[in-house]
Amino acid sequence: MINRRTFLFSAATPLLARGKKMTPRKRIDAVLRGEAADRPPFTLWHHFGLESQGPEAHARATLDFHTRYGTDLVKVMSDFPYPRESGVQATPFPAQLRALELVRDGLNGSKHFVETVFNPWNVAEKLTSKEEVARLHAEAPQKLRDMLENIAKSEANHAKNARERGVSGVFLAIANAQDGILSLDDYREFSEPYDRMVIEAVNDLPLNIVHLHGPKIYHEHFLRNWRGVTIHYSEAETGFSLAEAHAIFPGTLMGGIDHRSYRNLNVEQLRAAARRARDMAAPNLIVAPGCSVPDDCTPKELTLLRKAMEKV
């Protein structure tokens, strides 16, 4: 069933479309205010794998990608490794900060851009292993808490450093808040406090995004208990519709495109998916794949979403 807010948005969109075309930044601003835009903003992304070539190559690839494919929001990937040093780090990702400066200068205020941060649990797994984090969780929980707190404080420092480089928010990727990895109670005890530390370090920014990764996420927990953020998840992978999320969550949602089948979708199918998402969650919606699209997508495939969005 279409609610009143969505009905009003759908009715207003044709009028807006006949008016002045909005810029990418103003399109995002409208959505964050819960107002109708000329069309829903959109974005997509994948990993470049250029960290070994330094921040300049990383920034150049980011700017080229988002210019070529006409996105409204720039998500800066973050594949530089967390330092293998103990304690709290004041600047855990110096190369990434340089990349953010270059992206900021290249965009020159034309688009919002957000910095990707992997949640402390994920970083702990990368520093040790999934098996070691699971062992600490079971056998030495305080040692795990201490590790997660140090990482969280370091990432909070990085988020503040990113804010100084002009980002509109952080994109916090959370992959452990799902059945089969942690129970909801365990997530709330061992991970959520540290995840919140990262977001709360920059909670004055307008576009902090919480990405819930995986098919069995605790979506209702986040929709009911996290505020002041944009929530991003895969509708297709979880089976939890944007309409259901929109009925619970008063803020902005992000998603609507199946990242798993992206390469097999044509323009008409992508447009239909975007329109369906719009009808369920507008005006509080940024259209996007539920996760990164395959890294080996061709330029032709990556162009299709922009073409589809031209008539949404």
- 102-147: pLDDT as tens digits: 999 999 999 999 999 999 999 999 999 999 999 999 999 999 999 9
Considering the chain, what percentage of its residues have pLDDT values greater than 90? 93
Neighbours of 129 (CB within 10 A): 11
**Burial class, 19, CB count within 10 angstroms (exposed 0-12 / middle 13-18 / buried 19+):** exposed
Mean pLDDT of 80-107: 97
Q: What are 227's two structure tokens?
A: 């505020």
HSE of 153 in the Cβ direction (CA atoms, 13 Å)? 10
Phi then psi dihedrals of residue 203, to 5 deg: -70, 0
Neighbours of 298 (CB within 10 A): 10
Calpha distance 232→2 (Å, rounded): 21
Coil, strand or helix at 116? strand
Query: Where is 115: in which H helix or E strand?
Result: strand 112-118
State pLDDT tens for residues 138-185.
999 999 999 999 999 999 999 999 999 999 999 999 999 999 999 999
Whole-number pLDDT of residue 20:
82
Whole-number pLDDT of residue 19:
59
Considering the chain, what percentage of its residues have pLDDT values greater than 70? 94
Provide the number of structural domains found in the chain.
Answer: 1
Q: What are 130's two structure tokens?
A: 């999934």
In the predicted structure, residue 18 carries a pLDDT above the cut 90: no
CB burial readout 136-164, b (16+ within 10 A) else e = bbeeeeeebbebbebbbbbbbbbbebbbe
Coil, strand or helix at 99? helix
Whole-number pLDDT of residue 197:
98
Whole-number pLDDT of residue 269:
98
In the predicted structure, residue 7 carries a pLDDT above the cut 80: no
Chain center to CA of 258 = 15
What's the mean per-residue pLDDT of the chain? 94
Phi then psi dihedrals of residue 253, to 5 deg: -110, 155
> By C-alpha distance, which of 257, 294, 302, 249 is closest to 277?
257
CATH number for the domain spanning 58: value is: 3.20.20.210
**Structural domain harbouring 26:** 4-309
Residue 285 · residue 231 · CB < 8 Å: no
Q: What is the pTM of this model?
A: 0.93
In the predicted structure, residue 11 carries a pLDDT above the cut 60: no
Neighbours of 124 (CB within 10 A): 24
